[in-house]
Structure 1
Amino acid sequence: MPQSPDNLPLALYSAAQVRQLDARLIAAGTPGFELMSRAAHAIWRALRQRWPDAGAITVLAGRGNNAGDGYLVAALALRAGWRVRVLAVGDPARLQGDAARARDEAHDAGVPVQAWSECAPLEGVVLDALLGTGLNGMVREPYAQAIRQLNASGMPVLAVDIPSGLCADRGQVLGVVVRAQLTVTLVGLKIGLFTGVAADWVGELRFDDLQAEPQLVASQDSVARRLAPGSLPRLPARPRTVHKGQLGHVLVVGGERGFAGAALLAAQSALRGGAGLVSLASRGEHLAAAQARLPEVMSTAVASANQLLALGAAASVWVVGPGLGQGAWGRSLLSVAAIMRVPQVWDADALNLLAAGAVRLPLGCVITPHPGEAARLLGVGAAEVQADRPAAALELARRYQAVCVLKGAGTLVADPGGSLLLCDRGHPAMACAGLGDVLAGLIGALLGQGLAPLDAAGLAVWLHGRAGEVLAGKGCGLAASDLCAAIRQLMQEQCA
């Protein structure tokens, strides 16, 4: 059966770390060719489960170990009575080691091999065994043309380990990339399969550890860990005698003229996230609407920094930035937040003003940039952030000494000590305004209930993404406020 994201391992590795793990398995007594044979069987099983009636397979083979996997799969398919052809994009004579042995085994089994050309027909399921995880530079010819032809063909594609042309460390397209319907990744999960633009190219993801010894795998360093139900931070259990004053008082600061909705969404999310008390500091023009929509929130009109200072003294957590604006009013309020010594979440225009040098970030904060805001904070372009999202998240956390939530597909949560969490939940229906405001309010609520910044951010990101998945079944047109009730239900199910 297909593996859901939460059935996959938690550890995420770089390409170099997976190679180290591979070498350690071999050193511990498993021959390299045996690992390659296990990989071929795992790929063949997945192929038959996904396309049981295909009856034909075309292998596009390169020059590395991926090609060796492909040759062995071709031999298995031929023995099963399928029509088989290997199209060699890389010269088979240049294969070395275990890959060369796999080529010879396929030859001995009678697998037909011919040089790839643009005129060579593709039949059945196409196995992408072109380029592996070691690719760092742009895809060169003739591989690039082979990939373009494959994508244009509309044929079903299974990618071996990673779609050719996708960076295993960054999730970046290296010029051109295979669009797979199924990817079978091996030995260890590569972080590049989960962030950047990977989701558009990987298709369904399955994993096989090739019977690796659990102790060896557990001792291998990883670059990140996936957020999944069994590994989520948990809120402290509430005693029967608990009262609202023990569950945090969240103050949301924002809502410049024309942007009241952002602050209201953050406040609503903080309420549904379990905060004992929620206050809202906003423009006076929004007070009536706020009180009508959220009667549980203590809404106050704030016109000056002094007013905010007095109001905020009672709050245990601040959420600053939703709808704040970058004018004099927003700058004045942010200057107060910058001197407060309580846990804070900075979002939206608070981050834009921080990037502009208007204030300094206090210690112990959580920042929640999208790629554009992250680029401004780092002084680079958004494309540079997206080209290496893990590095950007870690650098933001280090530079600002804060927990950083780098939003986007494969949201990343980093802390100044180098810890990195990844959330692979979410849905395209979540591409709508206000979702970031909901996330900021939720993080604030979890901070108020006693979670450390990294734990609060990680749990909030997972709840947020999973809530979007739950609601996506109702179709497009998701509104940010819809998430609040779904998040509340998930908190009950996952974190009670």
Structure 2
Amino acid sequence: MMPLDTSWLAAHPVPAPGADTDKNSRGRVLVAGGSETVPGALQLTGEAALRAGAGKLQLATVARVAIQLGVLVPEAAVYPLPANPAGELGDDAGTVLADYLERCDALVLGPGTGAEAPAESVLKAVLAHPCASRAIVLDAAMIAGATELTEAVRGHDGRIVLTPHPGEMIRLMGCDPARIEDDPAGLAQEAARRFNTPVLLKGPETWVACPGEALLRYPGGGPGLATGGSGDVLAGIIGGLLARGAPPRIAAAWGVWLHGEAGRRLAERIGPLGFLGRELLGEIPRLLAAAS
């Protein structure tokens, strides 16, 4: 086990853009998910990807809120997806989304999706198109969708990052809830081996596990990060770093550190509780610049 700190970051840098870079070479992120109930989640995730240095942003969400989201995030292209009667992504959303995959270097799938989204069918359609130049972050309801799709996830050769909180990890692994308390590190490593991909187990402390690599432990950014939208921001940071060309384990680890340290800074300036998920966004570029 190794601490996830500035020494580790210095030894594992993220790719730096050249002076002559353009927005395409800085990477294209597609964020897909949301719902009629939580339409703003994709705003947080998408902006976090841009704050982490991605060059282009695309958002795909249920058709009835797509136009409003586009107005809210003028930096993004926005694509409509079918919805089900509950206002979540519909059964055909994965098939439609698969047609957009060639337009991105990194896909963040799941922010803002809930229990009534057909996670397995959407994810199955997306995972049917592995690409060596594209990485994927799975978040929220889409994590549980991976439970029965182990081989499909493994088929992406470690280019998928799973981001479960404790409840999502229990559902993903079908394990006794006591394991979260008794052995979170071991559970994260077991999940990484099962799916052959990086897994970060979020909580008061966060574990980043990857097959064949040392387990990383981040002590946590404080209780203020346990707030709505915080996880959406984390997923977006990781997606932005992936789009820039960071390997999945490095993108996951940097994302955890940037997110946690943003929480620490806000706790010092605002208070340990009460800062908002969207307030994390402005901290990302400064932290990234200081640590790079």
- Fold in common (TM above 0.5): yes
| Identity score, percent | 35
Distance 1:418 1:231 in 2: 13
Contact 1:262–1:323 (CA under 8 A) maintained in structure 2: yes
Question: Measured at CA, do residues 490 and 328 of structure 1 come closer, stay the same or move farther in structure 2, by a change above 3 Å?
Answer: closer
2:241 to 419, 427, 446: 446
Question: Measured at CA, do residues 282 and 456 of structure 1 come closer, stay the same or move farther in structure 2, by a change above 3 Å?
Answer: same
Question: Measured at CA, do residues 488 and 382 of structure 1 come closer, stay the same or move farther in structure 2, by a change above 3 Å?
Answer: farther
Contact 1:334–1:359 (CA under 8 A) maintained in structure 2: no
Matched, 1:403 2:218: no
Contact 2:150–2:195 (CA under 8 A) maintained in structure 1: no
Match of 2:89 in 1: none
Distance 1:481 1:410 in 2: 21
Q: CA deviation at 1:259?
A: 2.0
Match of 2:96 in 1: 307
1:249 to 21, 28, 34: 28
Alignment-mate amino acid for residue 482 of structure 1: E
Q: CA deviation at 1:359?
A: 8.7
> Unmatched 5+ residue regions in structure 1?
1-223
Match of 2:45 in 1: 266
Distance 1:358 1:290 in 2: 33
Question: Measured at CA, do residues 235 and 418 of structure 1 come closer, stay the same or move farther in structure 2, by a change above 3 Å?
Answer: closer
Question: Could you tell me the TM-score, scaled by structure 2's length?
Answer: 0.87
Question: What SS is found at the alignment partner of 1:337?
Answer: helix
Question: What SS is found at the alignment partner of 1:446?
Answer: helix
Match of 2:228 in 1: 433
Q: CA deviation at 1:488?
A: 1.5
Contact 1:326–1:353 (CA under 8 A) maintained in structure 2: no
2:77 to 298, 322, 329: 298
Q: CA deviation at 1:418?
A: 4.3
Distance 1:388 1:428 in 2: 21
Contact 1:320–1:337 (CA under 8 A) maintained in structure 2: no
Match of 1:485 in 2: 282
Alignment-mate amino acid for residue 462 of structure 1: W
> Unmatched 5+ residue regions in structure 2?
83-91
Q: CA deviation at 1:307?
A: 2.6
Match of 1:334 in 2: 123
Question: Measured at CA, do residues 281 and 333 of structure 1 come closer, stay the same or move farther in structure 2, by a change above 3 Å?
Answer: farther
Match of 1:469 in 2: 264
Question: What SS is found at the alignment partner of 1:291?
Answer: helix
Question: Could you tell me the TM-score, scaled by structure 1's length?
Answer: 0.53
Deviations 1:425-462 (A, max 9, x none): 40111121111111111111111111111111111100
Question: What SS is found at the alignment partner of 1:484?
Answer: helix
Q: CA deviation at 1:236?
A: 2.2
Contact 1:331–1:358 (CA under 8 A) maintained in structure 2: no
